[in-house]
């Protein structure tokens, strides 16, 4: 909301080992031409009624709506939903992916863009979310989501975090984060980043199989999962 009203300050991502990095808000408002290539390619797989999980400022949902798709956005942030409404998204609701309030087989395509394949935070949490999405997807429904391969780094700070996770019996890409903007700070939350083969194995436990993967630009990728 601040960015939309002219405040272009960065926000800060804080990891529980003390690592802090600034990021720009403009990424939530980019047009199709500035999407990652793997995101653009995956849009060819969108069909039918669409659910955008963690829709943010409506970056993808609004682009699809302009192209005639019936798009519903959900987010846990009331302000994010207010931004989507101001920007013209016709259907958007304050809702958590852990507590979906839709009838079975409501959607043909479910979007989890912006690294939202990691929203489950843990392996068990990811399986649970994918099962919930399985229930609201049609028989030929699909998930299109993006993630990040944590192993594709040579950053010493990230490698040290991976080793700490290994010693604790956690996946190397399970990170605990907090977001700060000005004087406001979020609660701590987990985000799970997985290499594609590990994501495929987890998805199968929830009734999904990989149909196509795109990209790996700077370790990021987009996956298309379909019902088994």
What integer pLDDT is reported at residue 56 of this predicted model? 96
Q: What is the pLDDT of residues 70-97, one digit of tens each?
A: 999 999 999 999 999 999 999 999 999 9
204 pLDDT tier (thresholds 50, 70, 90):
very high
Distance between CA atoms of residues 12 and 181, nearest Å: 6
Average pLDDT over residues 133-146: 97
Residue 220 falls within a domain, yes or no? yes
pLDDT at 36: 86
> At 126, is the pLDDT very low, low, confident or very high (cuts 50, 70, 90)?
very high
Structural contact between residues 204 and 39, judged by C-beta atoms closer than 8 angstroms? no
CATH of the domain at 202: 3.40.50.150
115 found inside a domain: yes
| Calpha distance 87→155 (Å, rounded) | 38
Residue 116 falls within a domain, yes or no?
Answer: yes
Pick the closest to residue 117 from 141, 84, 146, 158 (CA basis): 146
Q: Which of 109, 129, 98 is nearest to 203 (CA)?
A: 129
Task: For residue 49, tell me if it sits in a domain.
Answer: yes
Whether the per-residue pLDDT at 212 is higher than 90: the answer is yes
Q: Is residue 214 part of a domain?
A: yes
> Is the pLDDT assigned to residue 17 strictly greater than 70?
yes
In a domain, 222, yes or no: yes
Output the pLDDT for position 217: 63
- Strand (E) positions, 16-55? 20-23, 50-53
Q: Is the pLDDT of residue 111 over 80?
A: yes
Q: Which residues pair with 172 in a beta bridge?
A: none
Please determine, for residue 218, whether its predicted confidence score (pLDDT) is greater than 80: no
What is residue 186's DSSP assignment?
Answer: P
- 20 pLDDT more than 70: yes
* Residue 60 forms part of a structural domain: no
- Total domains in the chain come to 1
The position carrying tokens 């370790």 is 219
Domain residues for 189? 33-55+100-143+162-227
pLDDT at 30: 87
Least confidently predicted of 33-47, 79-93, 98-112, 154-168: 33-47
Residue at 210 is within a domain: yes
Q: pLDDT per residue over 29-50, tens digit each?
A: 988 888 889 999 999 999 999 9
């Amino acid at each position: 909301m601040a960015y939309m009203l002219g405040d272009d300050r960065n926000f800060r991502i804080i990891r529980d080992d003390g690592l802090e990095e600034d990021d720009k808000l403009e990424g939530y408002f980019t047009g199709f031409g500035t999407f990652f290539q793997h995101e653009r390619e995956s849009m060819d797989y969108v069909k039918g009624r669409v659910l955008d999980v963690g829709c943010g400022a409506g970056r993808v949902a609004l682009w699809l709506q302009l192209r005639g798709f019936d798009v519903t956005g959900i987010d846990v942030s009331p302000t994010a939903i207010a931004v989507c409404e101001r920007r013209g998204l016709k259907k958007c609701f304050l809702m958590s992916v852990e507590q979906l309030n839709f009838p079975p087989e409501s959607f043909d395509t479910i979007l989890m863009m912006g690294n939202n394949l990691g929203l489950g935070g843990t392996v068990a949490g990811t399986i649970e979310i994918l099962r919930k999405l399985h229930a609201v997807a049609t028989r030929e429904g699909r998930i299109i989501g993006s993630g990040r391969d944590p192993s594709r780094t040579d950053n010493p700070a990230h490698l040290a975090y991976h080793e700490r996770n290994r010693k604790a019996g956690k996946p190397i890409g399970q990170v605990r984060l907090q977001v700060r903007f000005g004087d406001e700070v979020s609660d701590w939350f987990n985000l799970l980043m997985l290499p594609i083969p590990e994501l495929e194995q987890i998805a199968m436990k929830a009734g999904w199989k990989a149909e196509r993967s795109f990209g790996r630009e700077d370790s990021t990728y987009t996956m298309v999962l379909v019902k088994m």
